[in-house]
Amino acid sequence: MTITHNLGFPRIGKERQLKIAVEAYWQGKINRQQLEQTGLELRTQHWQMQKQSGLDYIPVGDFSWYDQVLDMSCLLGVVPERFNWDGDTIDLDTYFRMARGRAPKGEPTSACEMTKWFDTNYHYIVPEITQHQTFKLSSSKLFDELTEAQIAGIKAKPVILGPITWLWLAKIKGQSFDKLDCLNDLVNVYGQILQQLKTQGVEWVQIDEPALVLDLPHAWQQAFESAYYRLQIKGLKTMVATYFGELGEQLQLAARLPVDGLHVDLVRAEHQLINVLDQASGYKVLSLGIINGRNIWRSDLDHCLDLLKAAQLKTDQELWLAPSCSLLHVPVDLDLENTLDDELKSWLAFALQKLEELDILKNTLNKGTLSTSRQLEQSRKILANKKESTRIHQESVQKRLGSINESILQRSLPYQDRRPLQRQWLNLPVFPTTTIGSFPQTENIRQQRKKYKQGEIDKQSYQEAMKNEIANTIRKQEALGLDVLVHGEPERNDMVEYFGEQLQGFAFTQYGWVQSYGSRCVKPPIIFGDISRSKPMTVDWITYAQSCTNKPVKAMLTGPVTILNWSFVRNDQPRSTTAEQIALALRDEVQDLEKAGIKIIQIDEAALRERLPLRKKDWQTYLRWSVRAFRITASSVADDTQIHTHMCYSEFNDIIHAIADMDADVITIETSRSDMKLLNAFENFDYPNEIGPGVYDIHSPNIPDSAGVIDLMTKAVKCIPADRLWINPDCGLKTRQWPEVELALECMVDSARTLRKQYAADIING
């Protein structure tokens, strides 16, 4: 017998209803009851959608107001002291203050750190633990949602983040200690959670332990065994879910855990199936992640069936089928898309379509191929059409790829020789100030873009409106006293989508939204074919901005690896090949910007680290082609042209050599939430180039104060010489409002002036 289930469903809604409601609550436009009603309606809709798709078990607990890791922290009662939690049930405003530093009620404070969820573009809120951390059940959210599902007639499978993965992701605050010292008390509360779920009549619980696909120290491997031997609840079945990679040396460990089921990812690690069947099939139910939960291409159902039939022969247990991971990482429903052409649309599958594929596989295995012959034949025809389509390959692109050699990967002079040439013409003060690129996307900007797309205004009118926004942004930056300006990106809907719309080989959706963090949703482009650039994409906007000021204006490009990693990427060639195609297109843009007189060019690689393989043995290959793609993009410029790059929340210690190999003149990074601790990597490595550590958190509406900015930069000076430091926000400012932006930047500029006086003597002396 074959069973189907799902590991998680997109929670934002087909039309981002959750985002709209949450932001309205933050702004005081709706009250808590109205927000909770929207949540209930979305959960009910999503459960019914999944039930109608034929699933046997439906996840509950995968819905979140902001982030599932933060949800688990609240369930465990882990709230940092600065949030003044009273120790009772954690209320929604305390929850939001932990996520973003501010909520409708409660004093603003610094938000918890945020970083990427394994190798995805989803961000989670990092748990904070202290040496004497206590744990206790402090949220009823999971149990309340289970009751809702049961009332709605849903065969519910609660989903919780496992204790070892949660603890692995947690960050120590204060005095250092061994995190595993917390495990005993932590497991006690997990036991209470499972007991409560059993009391509510649950049959199966899904416990997510993606840490099992990492390189784990021996002590952490042992922790799995000790924890799960204590988490056996008579009458309750548990399934440990692993995803994002192979179990590898942890396969034996996972196979012998005292749980009733094990989920493995066959999309990212198909080769592990034989070993999984040998090790685990006789002991527990196997759940095979056979449908890709992270990309939007149709599955090869015949290939899936070959794998599943082989698995059926090797196990006497029920075989469970599921997507490889939660469907959080894909859009909800392809049927909403009415602007994609029929051919391309036929190649795709969003969350609901993936569940349909899962149902076809189940029915084929349970009822035979005759029951699904029509669907299987349709799948074969679509895959054959895609393989033979003439729209995918461009001979000129393939030829240009073949011409890449080492000479185009190098600047003509090393950084130490470029630096005086750049400083001579820039003539900037010490601690120069700049921003990362974007400024607020105001209601007027959005309305003008909407009118243009709907044909209500012509191209010239739209361009004039955007130029007015650029000129206004330049004036505001000059008034604030910033040293290097940006044009503010009013014409850009998204830092990846904007470029994809002007490159061949990309396609776009209307409702292909996925959650990046909190209420932040993105609409990733679809890379379906070879990539090339037919004309300049940014030159007119940047040169116009430069004409509005005598100060240097920095051009803004999204880098090749970030465009790749923040798109749904074609699956018929190596990602490295696609990255080089994008890099060549961007190289042409860099050359055109320089010819137009733009001498500072920022090439953002915000996502370079997030797709770093989870196993260290695979790092070097990824880093080699990622750095190569950046250098293809950046290395054609003259030595006095300054190349910047920006990277989002990342741990840099273990890839600092690769960052140095990128050879950017200036790198800006997000450091404020980590209290500048990320800079330790640059100090220990003696990073040679210039760095702009983010001095305030743009993901929070809180306004920084000068004392805080100066304190952060004082910490930075201990790691990096003052004459190689820039001052800038953590990231772009598009999601903020102008009043708070102006106050924050005014504080930042004033702090820079104070720092210049404070460190003037040290800089002069050496």
Residues taking part in catalysis: 699
Residue 758, burial from CB neighbour count under 10 angstroms (0-12, 13-18, 19+) = middle
Contact 422, 642 (CB under 8 A): yes
Residues 6 or more apart whose Cβ sits within 8 Å of residue 686 = none
Q: How far apart are CA 611 and CA 619, in angstroms?
A: 10
Contact call for residues 292 and 304 (beta carbons, < 8 A): no
Distance CA 648, CA 671 (A): 9
CB-side neighbour CA atoms (13 Å) of 551:
21
CB 348 within 8 A of CB 33: no
Instruction: Name the residue with tokens 């061949």.
Output: 504
Cβ atoms of residues 521 and 515 within 8 Å: yes
Q: What value, to the nearest 5°, has the Cα angle with vertex 429 and ends 426 and 435? A: 80
Burial of residue 576, with CB atoms counted within 10 A of its CB: 0-12 exposed, 13-18 middle, 19 or more buried: middle
Burial 448-480 (b: 16+ CB within 10 A, else e): bbeebeeeebeeeebbebbbebbbbbbebbeeb
- Are the beta carbons of 491 and 459 closer than 8 angstroms? no
Q: What's at 472, amino acid-wise?
A: N
Report the C-alpha gap between 12 and 15 in whole angstroms: 8
Cβ neighbors of 570 (< 8 A, separation 6 or more) are: 297, 392, 527, 528, 529, 578
Residues 6+ apart with CB under 8 A from 737: 440, 701
Per the structure block, which two tokens stand in for 340? 């994609």
User: Which of 153, 159, 129 has its CA nearest to residue 64?
Assistant: 159
Please give the C-alpha separations between residue 1 and each of 56, 269, 665, in angstroms, as whole numbers: 12, 24, 60
Phi/psi at 455 (nearest 5 deg)?
Answer: 80, 15
Under 8 Å between Cβ of 323 and 304: no
For residues 328 and 10, the answer to whether their CB atoms sit within 8 Å is yes
* 8 Å CB contact between 674 and 693: no
Spell out the SS3 assignment of 301-329: HHHHHHHHHHHHHHCCCCEEEEECCCHHH
Distance CA 756, CA 723 (A): 10
Gap between the terminal Cα atoms of the chain: 75
Beta-bridged to residue 554, according to DSSP, are 486, 600
